[in-house]
């Protein structure tokens, strides 16, 4: 009887800790967003590629959002995607957790607004909190900061 009670108490404590972690983790936004006012799409892409290289990432490719879904002449000019990667970082993240593919390779989506260009990326730290792998989280926090540095520099 006493063992059963101890077991239930331990279970409750573990659940409470889990709930507390859920409450704490609500701080990370799902998306990282940076505005580049008064910039056109070509200039924003150019600056983003420069910034990616300057932060030790390799450019992988850029494409319109509907690339290969419509004939090339009809592709949307107002929304583009840029993929990039740091392969050593990717290797480390995949070794820690194969689910890291939820945020790898890195992807920034750029879309035209009335005022300029908006850059959006999925926040790897937000994803990592849900994956609940403490070993992966520090890498995701660094990647989040890299995203912000890259996008903020491109927005200047």
Partner 1 sequence: MKHLAALILLLGAVEACAEPLTASHRATLREALDDITTAALNQDYQLVKVQPLDSALVKRGFDDPGIRIVFIGNPEQMRHTGKVDAHLLALLPLRLTLRHEGDVVRVSSDDLAPWAEQAANAESRQLVEAWQADLRAILDDYAQPRP
Q: How does DSSP classify residue 6?
A: H
- 8 scored as a contact of partner 1 (CB under 8 A): yes
Q: Residues of 101-119 as b/e, b for ≥16 C-beta within 10 angstroms?
A: eebbebbbebebeeebbbb
Tell the burial category of 99 from Cβ atoms under 10 Å away from its Cβ (0-12, 13-18, 19+). Answer: middle
The number of angstroms, rounded, from the C-alpha of 57 to the middle of its chain's C-alpha atoms is 14
Q: Which of 20, 115, 130, 138 binds partner 1 (CB under 8 A)?
A: 130
Q: Which of 10, 11, 54, 135 binds partner 1 (CB under 8 A)?
A: 11
- 156 scored as a contact of partner 1 (CB under 8 A): no
State how far the Cα of 78 lies from the Cα of 89, in Å rounded to an integer.
Answer: 31
- 10 scored as a contact of partner 1 (CB under 8 A): no
For residues 30 and 156, which CB has a smaller minimum distance to partner 1 in the complex?
30
Stretch that binds partner 1, among 37-45, 47-55, 88-96, 140-148 (CB under 8 A): 88-96
CA angle centred on 57, ends 55 and 59, rounded to 5°: 125
- 54 scored as a contact of partner 1 (CB under 8 A): no
State how far the Cα of 20 lies from the Cα of 131, in Å rounded to an integer.
Answer: 16
Interface residues with partner 1 (CB under 8 A)? 8, 11-12, 15-16, 18-19, 22, 30-31, 33, 63, 65-70, 76, 79, 83, 85, 87-88, 90-91, 94-95, 98-99, 101-102, 104-105, 107, 109, 111, 113, 118, 120-122, 130
């Amino acid at each position: 009887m006493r063992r059963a009670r101890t077991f239930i108490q331990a279970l409750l404590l573990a659940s409470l800790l889990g709930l507390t972690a859920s409450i704490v983790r609500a701080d990370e936004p799902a998306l990282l967003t940076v505005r580049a006012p008064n910039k056109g799409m070509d200039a924003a892409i150019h600056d983003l590629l420069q910034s990616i290289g300057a932060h030790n990432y390799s450019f992988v490719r850029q494409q319109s959002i509907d690339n290969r879904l419509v004939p090339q002449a009809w592709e949307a000019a107002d929304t583009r995607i840029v993929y990039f990667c740091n392969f050593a970082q990717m290797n480390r993240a995949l070794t820690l957790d194969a689910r890291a593919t939820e945020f790898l390779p890195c992807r920034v989506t750029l879309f035209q607004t009335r005022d300029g260009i908006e850059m959006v990326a999925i926040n790897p730290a937000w994803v990592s909190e849900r994956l609940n792998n403490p070993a992966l989280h520090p890498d995701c926090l660094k990647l989040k900061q890299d995203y912000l540095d890259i996008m903020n520099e491109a927005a200047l």
